[in-house]
Amino acid sequence: MESRPYTIDTLIEIMARLRDPNSGCPWDLKQSWQSIIPHTLEEAYEVADAIHQAVDSQDFSEVKLELGDLLFQVIFYSQFAKEQGDFEFADVVDGVCEKLIRRHPHVFADIDFADEAAIKANWEAEKSKERAIKLQANSVLDDVPKALPALSRAQKLQKRCANVGFDWGDAWGPYHKVKEEWAEVGQAMHQQDGEEIAEEIGDLLFAVVNLARHQGLDAEDLLHQANRKFETRFRAVEQLAKADGKRLQDMSLEAMDALWEKVKQRLKT
């Protein structure tokens, strides 16, 4: 094994040793394509979480470690493929390099586009060609990953439809759709129809994602930010109550709401 600083070749060699039938790690030898999918998803979320924390703290050391863990997942899958004789890690690198070069002719082929919108249109056209070749798809929605978080998948579904012209002309279309779906949620609640309430709330969420997309925003990221804001405020409420010698569970909703408003004002200033 080579000495530090290690390289990508070292990581590939480590993976091969871990999967060696005679001297490898029992846990790694038991793994399969399907068994490490949950680990891959977990590592991706840990990268995202580390980045969010790093942006606040300006300490990116944890991001480096989490990216390494995510890279190892790619090496793991590549090792499975190598053992089956399908492909190797070098083929993965070759494939992504070819795709990026082809999708960026304005950078690598001296082709000029009028503006950023034209560049984006070319990118989507290239992706459409790839999907047609890969899947001979019956629908533009055929290869939208089902394992995506629901908000992200909703946004990707909407984007695919927009690429073929099935979309609102501007952001006011989804804005009014949100108002329409909001009213339908209220109607379902008045009727006390549980199934209808659930369906209408789902429609409302989908419409809100569409509004975010039309504003050039990522719905998943927006909800993540909203979660962080709520968590920050609620932790501050807990601290105020504790400083007063009180427990939230012993306080009235009105008293907790008063603390909430105090926290909101503090954070604003």
Confidence of residue 133 (pLDDT cuts 50, 70, 90): low
The mean per-residue pLDDT over the stretch 89-98 comes to 96
Q: Are 103 and 123 in contact (CB under 8 A)?
A: yes
Q: Where in the chain are the domains?
A: 8-102, 104-143, 168-217, 218-269
Q: Check residue 134 and give its pLDDT.
A: 64
Q: Check residue 178 and give its pLDDT.
A: 97
Residue 48 has pLDDT above 70, yes or no: yes
Q: pTM surpassing 0.85?
A: no
In CATH, the architecture of 8-102 is Orthogonal Bundle (1.10)
Q: Check residue 110 and give its pLDDT.
A: 80
Per-residue pLDDT tens for 169-204?
Answer: 999 999 999 999 999 999 999 999 999 999 999 999
Instruction: Compute the mean pLDDT over every residue in the chain, rounded to the nearest whole number.
Output: 92
Residue 1 has pLDDT above 90, yes or no: no
